Structure 1
Amino acid sequence: MNIQNLTQGSHQYTSNTWLLCCGEHQSNCPILIDTGSDPRIISTLQEIQISTGEIPVNLVIITHDHADHSSMLPEIRRCFSPVAYAWSENTVGITRNLKDREVISAGTHLLEIIHIPGHSSDSICIYCSDEKILFTGDTPIYIRDTSLTFERPFQRAFENLCHRRINSIYPGHGEAILSDGNQILMRSLENIRDSRII
């Protein structure tokens, strides 16, 4: 699986926008995780379309309905006509809602949807087991102290993440974490368990 961040180096506040190509070629089943809020994403996708001769995105998955992650979805759908999935039915431009533990085919890979309410009620993570990859949106990954308060559904969902084999983590903001994903998550889970749970 080839993964690139299409909003890297953006001068506008935006989420990461991960483009997944699930085969040997750029055109194989391209999936976009989050659209970001930077309008330049359109010209970036158009450049990909020109270089490959293929539609640059077939599917968009939104990790949660905050503007920095989803505001370019209507324009991307207008330009390239991908299907678009999100947890929240309020996300403008989606074609259907996602369900917890749903599995989506991505070329030769499978992507599992994991609902993890915490940052927002509609937050999801996306897990690819054969690549040991987790896309987290704005779900907090580094939880370093025990002075915070967490809701029990978030704790349970985070424990669920830790049962998976994860090497790399692709967050909604910042750089990808390319090793030790499980160790990072387990340290955070220990701090969650030692925090106040309501």
Structure 2
Amino acid sequence: MIRNIATGVQSFTSNAFLVAGDQRVLVDTGANFDAVGEIRTHVDDLDAVVLTHTHPDHVGNLESVKDAFDVQSFGFDTDHPGVDVGIEDEETVALGDDDYLALHTPGHKNDHLCFYSKSAGILFAGDLIFQNGSFGRTDLEEGDRETLIESIDRVGATVDEDLLEMHTGHGPSVTTNPYHDIELAGKAARMY
């Protein structure tokens, strides 16, 4: 089960996905809402927090979640004060009942990761790719358009065309032909 606990929040936040199963994991924590209360409405405990990247809208609730559930956070950059354990490029990470391949995908931010499970047909795309071919902004510190395009291409070459779900850092998840949205993002990032 994957549930966006930030659904309906009317403040500056990212999506925050609770992945239940053998490993109860929160993918990004969002910001500016009661993430702990939302998590507790669905599960009694949490095993870990996994971060796509460390922009404030994705980690604003990080400390309160870590404190409430006594969990560690996992991400690419252990130099960030909120990241306890590093995730290497192409490392396997357990989310819920499935194993996910971690892909280092900079361009939006240097520490950006996407997580892909071939067996489940699911991609957590963070702020790299969004619905309808939108893509992460590159005008912030550490943003770089050419690097972003390379990262989108890497995801497109890694995921299967039978991808079932793409959960994004903002906006709705894509459950109808998400591979097409990845292809569109690669084209759009080259054009605009």
TM-score of the aligned structures, taking structure 2 as reference length: 0.84
Partner of 2:63: 74
Runs of 4+ residues over 6 Å off in structure 1: none
Q: Is 2:121 aligned against 1:132?
A: yes
Counterparts of 2:30 and 2:96 in 1: how far apart (Å)? 24
Partner of 2:139: none
Asked whether the 8 Å contact 2:23–2:94 carries over to 1, the reply is: no
Which amino acid in the other structure matches residue 105 of structure 1? A
Alignment of 1:156-167 (within 5 A): 156-163=150-157, 164-165=159-160, 166-167=163-164
The C-alpha deviation readout for 1:34-67, integer Å capped at 9, x for no partner, is 0011241122223335xxxx31x11111111111
Which amino acid in the other structure matches residue 83 of structure 1? Q
Q: Which is further off, 38-47 or 122-131?
A: 38-47
Structure 1 pair 177–76 and aligned structure 2 pair: CA distance change class (3 A): same
Alignment of 1:58-73 (within 5 A): 58-73=47-62
Counterparts of 2:113 and 2:70 in 1: how far apart (Å)? 23
Partner of 1:117: 106
Counterparts of 1:73 and 1:91 in 2: how far apart (Å)? 12
Structure 1 pair 12–99 and aligned structure 2 pair: CA distance change class (3 A): same
Partner of 1:41: 35
Shift of 1:107: 5.1
Q: How many positions carry a matched residue from both structures?
A: 181
Q: Is 2:19 aligned against 1:13?
A: no
Q: Equivalent of 1:103, from 68, 92, 96?
A: 92
Q: Is 2:83 aligned against 1:94?
A: yes
Counterparts of 2:96 and 2:36 in 1: how far apart (Å)? 23
Structure 1: segments with no counterpart, 5+ residues: 23-27
RMSD: 2.3
Which amino acid in the other structure matches residue 76 of structure 2? W
Q: Is 2:153 aligned against 1:154?
A: no
Partner of 1:25: none
Q: What is the percent sequence identity of the aligned residues?
A: 21
Which amino acid in the other structure matches residue 124 of structure 2? F
Q: Is 2:172 aligned against 1:183?
A: no
Shift of 1:155: 2.8
Asked whether the 8 Å contact 1:73–1:92 carries over to 2, the reply is: no
Structure 1 pair 14–69 and aligned structure 2 pair: CA distance change class (3 A): same
